[in-house]
Amino acid sequence: MTLSIDTPAQRLHALRQVMAEQGIDAWLVPSSDPHLSEYLPGHWQGREWLSGFTGSVGTLLVTRDFAGLWVDSRYWVQADQELSGSGIDMMKVAQGQQILAPIDWLAVNHHAPVTLGLDGAVLPLAAHRAFRTRLGDSVTIKSDRDLLEEIWPDRPALPQASITAHDAAFTGQTRSDRLTRLYQAMNEANADTHLISTLDDIAWLFNLRGSDVDYNPVFLAHALVDAHHTRLFIDRDKVSDTLHEALADDGVVLHDYAEIRDHLARLPEATRLLIDPARVTLSLVEALPEHVTLVEAFQPTTLAKACKHEADIVHIRNAMTRDGAALCRFLCWLDATLASGDDLDELTIDARLTAERVREKHFISRSFPTIAGFNANGALPHYRATESAHSSIEGQGLLLIDSGAQYLDGTTDITRVIPVGEPTPAQKADYTRVLKGMMALSRTRFPAGIEAPRLDAIARAPLWEAGLDYGHGTGHGVGYFLNVHEGPQVISRGAAPTPQTAMREGMITSIEPGLYRPNQWGIRIENLVANRVVKDVDTLEGDAFLEFETLTLCPIDTRLIERALLRDDEIAWLDDYHRTVFERLAPKLDDETRTWLSEKTQPLSP
């Protein structure tokens, strides 16, 4: 094809030509890869390449005379701007419904028999089944081709970064220990073989790390495990001879990354294959011979990975201390720079904060793109400053900074809001209500095993009292030197309260309520917490209760607090938190920053 394809409109035209040649009426492009990752290697960023929309979540549907991108409220302003002139309509959708919403649109708007095309290599099996249910027999789903291969001339190659072992000093369990535990879970599920494609599960199971995906220390791989063989499908050029030998000593056999479908096709008769339909793709399941019996269950490694051992928590506390020291040095510098009137913009915030973290021991990378949004930009929950579009920080307003880091001994994620100039009464009232929500959930005790989404309303209640709300979830799981977004727990009213989302000891979760006034300001306050067993109360029937241990160490800016809105017990919690922050961080700081921290952690109580 020799067409010019420099703009989204030209790329859509090229796609529609190939669709017509293949007899496809509609083409679906989700934001996913063969491992159903959140952050994607460039090779699978087809939705962004086609549409020009750079947000991390969205689903594109293209027909012969329509193109729509479905996004939730976090991205409405961003999508409206980035899709301008592309020929693609922004379609607003409730959070968590991006995949099904375009299918519902297709069912309503196309009554004649329709052929829907999609790349089965990047679609979850569970989503395909949901499509079938919604569309019925009037729609044929064609999933065996990736049309982007025919129109994307400079498509990025697969990443080639090397794979390393996670330092044994930071791993609480050996590779053999984790494989043995997996075998036991497979036996309990009455399965003899297990397919794993999610990258963080594979990295955790094999105590390996990589850098194939920005911000997440993972690598492209599939795993096929049975009682006699543990097969890891990766690019073998990424593995050193020493690591290859170490894996072989634990019975792990390496195969080429592209061979996974062939091995699935050759599984012997009577194989009982454990899969999680939400975590494997359609094309892998379609490669299986008919004689394989599917055993469908929640992926065992996902829960095992989420429940950190006490040794992991100790390491994470250490990482939080170093991260907190870096944050304090940065915030001390920020206050001084704002006071001096020196030029400052959102890009400088990211660069300086990252530079402070780089100084810390065991730092590897950021854990996601830093969000530094001033005033109206802060009202965009997933805003990202760029060289071509960013704001100076001057005058009066609120600066929202959401950032995190990957260390060998932990993953961090924190949001703070800083006043620039004198905050207004309205800003202080908004900030204090968000803080009340964060503290309310942080202080909550709850039955072990309660579904995480049920906790969401606790953080919203102080905002609801004032007729306010926010469009995103309240909390997500966080990995241990792994993905900053990790399941299975998620504190969100938009998530289904299934048994898989149960809160268990050792889980690490964010608490991050927010409030966003479009074109004015945004507020979000975020700490990470760990689930701990409550030991100082007697419960009925001896039921176990959990509470949160706050892990994040960084002062919460009291200049934005409307003290009259806080109860005495809330003030006591905040004072106690600041006392802990100072005690833990002061020994790590230089004199100037220690003095700054002392001022920022002064108690609010008389």
Task: Look up the CATH number of the domain holding residue 371.
Answer: 3.90.230.10
Of residues 416, 378, 374, 354, the one with CA closest to residue 553: 416
Same structural domain, 432 and 542? yes
Same structural domain, 278 and 416? no
| 156, 158, 162, 163: CA torsion to nearest 10 | 140
Of residues 529, 535, 534, the one with CA closest to residue 548: 529
CATH for 72? 3.40.350.10
Query: Domain limits at 143?
Result: 8-151
pLDDT tens for each residue of 81-92: 899 989 999 999
- pLDDT given for residue 108 in this prediction: 87
Place of tokens 């959990």: 546
- pLDDT given for residue 486 in this prediction: 96
- pLDDT given for residue 1 in this prediction: 41
pLDDT at 63 over 80: yes
Same structural domain, 289 and 325? no
Of residues 519, 399, 501, the one with CA closest to residue 454: 501
Place of tokens 């090229």: 14
Q: Is the Cα torsion angle 596, 598, 603, 606 positive or negative in sign?
A: negative
pLDDT at 198 over 70: yes
Banded pLDDT at 194 (limits 50, 70, 90)? very high
Same structural domain, 501 and 450? yes
Of residues 374, 353, 384, 471, the one with CA closest to residue 417: 374
Would you give the end-to-end CA distance of the chain in angstroms? 74
Residue 501 tokens read as 């989302």
Average pLDDT, the chain: 94
CA angle at residue 545 from 539 to 549, to 5 degrees? 135
Which of the listed residues 268, 299, 330 is the one where a domain comes to its end?
A: 299
Which of the listed residues 128, 151, 174 is the one where a domain comes to its end?
A: 151
Across the range 105-119, mean pLDDT stands at 89
Helix pair 456-464, 425-442: axis angle to 10 deg? 150
- pLDDT given for residue 2 in this prediction: 46
C-beta separation of 210 from 219 below 8 A: yes
Place of tokens 């220990």: 177
Tally of domains within the chain: 3
Cα separation, 69 vs 54, in Å, equals 12
Contacts of 135 (CB under 8 A, 6+ apart): 103, 106, 107, 116, 141
Cα separation, 519 vs 378, in Å, equals 9
Q: What percent of the chain stands above pLDDT 70? A: 98
Same structural domain, 32 and 80? yes
pLDDT tens for each residue of 578-587: 999 999 999 9
Same structural domain, 135 and 177? no
C-beta separation of 528 from 480 below 8 A: no
Classify residue 605: in a domain, yes or no.
Answer: no
Banded pLDDT at 72 (limits 50, 70, 90)? confident
pLDDT: which is higher, 95 or 249 = 249
pLDDT tens for each residue of 399-448: 999 999 999 999 999 999 999 999 999 999 999 999 999 999 999 999 99
Same structural domain, 355 and 396? yes
Banded pLDDT at 200 (limits 50, 70, 90)? very high
Across the range 591-603, mean pLDDT stands at 98
Same structural domain, 37 and 170? no
Classify residue 488: in a domain, yes or no.
Answer: yes
pLDDT at 309 over 80: yes
pLDDT at 52 over 50: yes
- In one letter, which amino acid is 469? D
Same structural domain, 315 and 275? no
Same structural domain, 315 and 252? no
Contacts of 497 (CB under 8 A, 6+ apart): 451, 452, 453, 454
Classify residue 382: in a domain, yes or no.
Answer: yes
- pLDDT given for residue 134 in this prediction: 87
pLDDT tens for each residue of 450-492: 999 999 999 999 999 999 999 899 999 999 999 999 999 999 9
Up-side HSE of residue 358: CA atoms within 13 Å toward CB?
A: 6
Q: What is the DSSP letter of 239?
A: S
Classify residue 606: in a domain, yes or no.
Answer: no
Q: Is the Cα torsion angle 434, 438, 441, 444 positive or negative in sign?
A: negative
Classify residue 34: in a domain, yes or no.
Answer: yes
Helix, coil or strand: residue 392: strand
Going edge to edge, which strands form the sheet with 410-411? 363-366, 405-407, 410-411
Q: Please report which residue ranges of 341-498 form alpha helices under DSSP H.
A: 346-358, 425-442, 456-464
User: The whole model's pTM is what?
Assistant: 0.93
Cα separation, 161 vs 231, in Å, equals 20
Across the range 13-34, mean pLDDT stands at 95
Classify residue 99: in a domain, yes or no.
Answer: yes
Same structural domain, 122 and 176? no
Of residues 133, 506, 97, the one with CA closest to residue 312: 506
Q: Is the Cα torsion angle 448, 450, 456, 461 positive or negative in sign?
A: negative
Residue 570 tokens read as 């809330």
Classify residue 442: in a domain, yes or no.
Answer: yes
Which of the listed residues 151, 183, 207 is the one where a domain comes to its end?
A: 151
Across the range 357-365, mean pLDDT stands at 98
- pLDDT given for residue 5 in this prediction: 79
pLDDT tens for each residue of 509-564: 999 999 999 999 999 999 999 999 998 877 777 789 999 999 999 999 999 999 99
pLDDT at 223 over 90: yes
Classify residue 376: in a domain, yes or no.
Answer: yes
pLDDT tens for each residue of 282-292: 999 999 999 99
Banded pLDDT at 212 (limits 50, 70, 90)? very high
- pLDDT given for residue 97 in this prediction: 64
CA distances 391 to 252, 344, 384, 385, 387, Å, are 51, 9, 11, 8, 10
Same structural domain, 188 and 82? no
Of residues 34, 52, 434, the one with CA closest to residue 197: 34
